[in-house]
Amino acid sequence: MPQFDFSEFSRQSPKGIIVNYFVILFRVLKASWALLLLLLTRDEINWNLISMGVGAILVFVLIIAALQFWFFTFKIEGDQFLVKKGVIKKSNLSIAFERIQNINFKQNIVQQVINVTQVEIETAGAKTAEVSIKALSREQAEAMKAFIMSHQVESNHEAIETIDQTDSKPIVLLKIALSDLFKVSLTENHLRSLAILLSLFFSLGYQFEEIAERMELDTKLDTFLQENTTAVLGSIYLISMIVIFLLIVAVLVSTVRTFLTHFDLKVLIRNKALEISQGLLTKRNFILKKEKVQYIVISTNPLKRLLGIYNILFRQASSGGSDKTKKQKQIRIVGSKASQNEQLKTVLFDNKEAESLESHWPDKFYIVIMALRTSLFWACFNIFLYFNVEIFYVVLINAIGVPLAVGLIWLKYKKSYFKVDREMLIKSAGQIETHIIYFEFHKLQGLKVRQSIFQKRRGVVNLVLQTSSGKIQLPYIKEDQANHLYNYIIYKVETSRKKWI
Amino acid sequence: MFQNLQIDQELPDIQAVNFQPIEKDYRKLLLIIWSVFAAIAMIGLIILIISKLEALPGLAIVISFVVWSVLFFGLLLYILLSFPRRQYAVREKDISYSSGLVFHSTTTVPFSRIQHIEIGEGALERLFKMATINIYTAGDNGRDLKIKGLTKINAEKIKEFITQSIQDASV
């Protein structure tokens, strides 16, 4: 490994200008694409003016990119990582090594083409911004990471054992093939994909409205609808066409989403930690250490179960920070087989005898409450239907909806069980999908027991485990069982000497 | 039930803990605060009625006053009835708080998971020489335990005790 000197303030690789350039350009385009479309749809287009304007913007962006590059410098001083940045608004950042939680590598498409790596330094503090250095050579990035990691160890004796094994060979746990990725895409939750697409449309709605107005789309649509309303309502043919169309769109969206984030997914086990890399346009690298993972969720659905594949979500500590950074800290992998799940659990958890233990279901009162809530909603829905559609459709919708609702409630109850052993909780949830949470007690932050007056009469409570990555709730369990668990979990946390982050 | 949970000694039971009530004076404070809110709502209501006197039917005015009084007295009743449920307990290694009438909840935070502790005093609280203790963990919602209505001295004592035992544990 070549030597790099981090003791003086230095700049990134000059290729950083290119990275900055595209980042800024992308931001400009994102903010103004509607305006551009508007200009291009005008009747008379003054090409001279437009090309001059575009040229000026491109030059301007280049200047900003170069300035940003020039004023971004970093160095390592003692146990501190220092960054100076900013063209007009200068800022100085210093991060103590001990605060650094993780150093991740990332490559978007531009960075992949010009062969530079983005280094992201994650800190534990709630208010400190995370630092990202956009363009380093791979060697330089690796050297910096190794340097910081090794100096972290000096101040932290517990971690020394991991350094001893630096040379140990990694084991490839999971490497996803293209065909597997297609299987994963086809079996994703397409309803969710559709919902994401819709919310995207609504968030862009404002910009769309502008264009639609310009092109008089809405008036055309209105006249079309007016002329065809009678046909639309009567035609089951058209409705089924729409359903098929939406289904195709949803599957497409799922496929694109899956490929974008999980393309070339690789999971390695090295030094008792997981190394994950994945992504098509933006390639991301993570290292997951067992103490950093707060809990994992293994999910599947009937189709996936048929193929024997699971999605796994790794939840990391996320206190503070924006929703965006919170989301980035939840790492998902796809297409894992049952045997691979087992291997993963062996890496992350000390023991997993709980799997074979007895399952505990909530009190039956849980079903009653779910049924009551659903009936209330269903009654309101029926009143609405009664006044708005023909009686034939009301009967039809009820004939489909009621058995469906009953089935879903039953599934939800059947799937909400939990198992407990000395060290961990295994909790299942879901209706069509199945999500199984694996949580080790010593990662707990706080414990809560909640009881409404209705629950009191039945002698049941909700037990809420607060973790640094969200809550885990055990609904409607018997009072004595809950109390026993409460005392046990608190006892476990207070006697544990294991690191929880 | 959990045959695998056999432990050498009897576990400390949260139910057996002697929970302390918070300061009685805090009830006064609550009543004052909510009465002020109710009074402001009443003033707003009166202004609204006067400004639209001709347009409003008499029945609407009567109903709005009835609704106001039902809400106000309901609130007072709730404060009085739920007050005894506000209790806290400090054990050797954790702190607990329980409250709520319709939805009762008990929360326990082990000292070893506490990030920092804050003592807050509102203007009214200062008048009554009271304070609120906020306990922050790394939990998702940050402020995981909040005990209102302690005397200033008591809050300081609890903070001191917790800080001391965290320091002792880390040595």
| Mean pLDDT, chain A, integer | 84
CB of A445 within 8 Å of a chain B CB? The answer is yes
- Only one residue has tokens 């304007």, namely A53
Greater model confidence, A350 or A3: A350
Residues of B within an 8 Å Cβ radius of A: 1-2, 4-5, 7, 11-15, 93-94, 101-110, 112-113, 137-142, 144-145
CB contact at 8 A, A441 and A425: yes
Structure tokens at B107: 């929360």
Q: How far is CA A469 from the centre of its chain?
A: 12
CB of A493 within 8 Å of a chain B CB? The answer is yes
> What are the E-state strand segments in A232-353?
266-270, 273-278, 283-289, 293-300, 310-316, 331-336
Greater model confidence, A496 or A43: A496
* Residues above pLDDT 90, as percent of chain B: 62
Residues in A closer than 8 angstroms to B12, CB to CB, are 487, 490-491
Q: Determine how many CB atoms are found less than 10 A away from the CB of residue A436.
A: 21
Structure tokens at B21: 């009530």
For residue A250, which phi and psi values (nearest 5 degrees)?
A: -60, -45
CB contact at 8 A, A452 and A460: no
Q: In whole angstroms, what is the distance from residue B31 CA to residue B75 CA?
A: 9
pLDDT higher than 80, residue A316: yes
Q: What is the pLDDT of residue A157?
A: 45
Phi-psi region of A470 (alpha: psi -120 to 50; beta: other; left: phi over 0): left
Q: Determine how many CB atoms are found less than 10 A away from the CB of residue A377.
A: 11
Q: In whole angstroms, what is the distance from residue A105 CA to residue A96 CA?
A: 20
Between positions 253 and 282 of A, the ones with CB within 8 A of B are: none
* Residues above pLDDT 90, as percent of chain A: 43
For residue A451, what is the nearest residue in chain B, using CA coordinates? B104
Q: Is the ipTM of this complex over 0.90?
A: no
pLDDT higher than 50, residue A25: yes
**Stretch A319-342: mean pLDDT:** 76
Q: Which of A197-201, A208-212, A235-239, A384-388 has the highest mean pLDDT?
A: A384-388
Residue A419 CB partners (closer than 8 Å, separation 6+): A354, A355, A357, A358, A359, A360, A425, A426, A427
Q: Determine how many CB atoms are found less than 10 A away from the CB of residue A26.
A: 12
- Only one residue has tokens 């009190």, namely A363
Running DSSP on this structure, what letter comes out for residue A10? B
Residues in A closer than 8 angstroms to B110, CB to CB, are 444, 446, 490, 493-494
CB-nearest to B14 from A450, A468, A483 is A483
Q: In whole angstroms, what is the distance from residue A203 CA to residue A198 CA?
A: 9
Q: What is the pLDDT of residue A482?
A: 94
**Stretch A88-106: mean pLDDT:** 81
Q: Name the strand (E) or helix (H) holding A474.
A: strand A470-478
Is B137's CB within 8 Å of A353's CB? Answer: no
For residue B136, what is the nearest residue in chain A, using CA coordinates? A445
Phi-psi region of A11 (alpha: psi -120 to 50; beta: other; left: phi over 0): beta
Q: What is the pLDDT of residue A501?
A: 76
Q: What is the pLDDT of residue A101?
A: 74
What is the per-residue pLDDT across A45-59, written as a single tens digit (0 to 9) for each?
Answer: 778 888 888 899 899
For residue A453, what is the nearest residue in chain B, using CA coordinates? B102
pLDDT higher than 90, residue A35: no
For residue A460, what is the nearest residue in chain B, using CA coordinates? B104
For residue A322, what is the nearest residue in chain B, using CA coordinates? B140
Is A491's CB within 8 Å of B7's CB? Answer: yes
What is the per-residue pLDDT across A164-214, written as a single tens digit (0 to 9) for each?
Answer: 445 567 889 999 999 999 999 999 988 888 888 887 777 666 565 666 565
Is B102's CB within 8 Å of A452's CB? Answer: yes
What is the per-residue pLDDT across B76-130, written as a single tens digit (0 to 9) for each?
Answer: 999 999 999 999 999 999 999 999 999 999 999 999 998 889 999 988 889 999 9
Q: In whole angstroms, what is the distance from residue B50 CA to residue A87 CA?
A: 58
Helix (H, G, I), strand (E, B) or coil at B49: helix
Longest dimension (CA), chain B: 78
- Bridge partners of B95, per DSSP, are B90, B109
Angle A16-40/A190-214 helices, nearest 10 degrees?
60
The end-to-end CA distance of chain A, in Å, is 31
Residue A29's pLDDT band, with cuts at 50, 70 and 90, is confident
The end-to-end CA distance of chain B, in Å, is 38
Structure tokens at B47: 């202004």
Query: Chain A closest CA to B146's CA: distance in Å?
Result: 13
CB-nearest to A421 from B4, B14, B110 is B4
- Only one residue has tokens 């965290």, namely B166
Q: A343, A315, A339, A345: which is closest to A327 by C-alpha?
A: A315
CB-nearest to B4 from A317, A357, A452 is A357
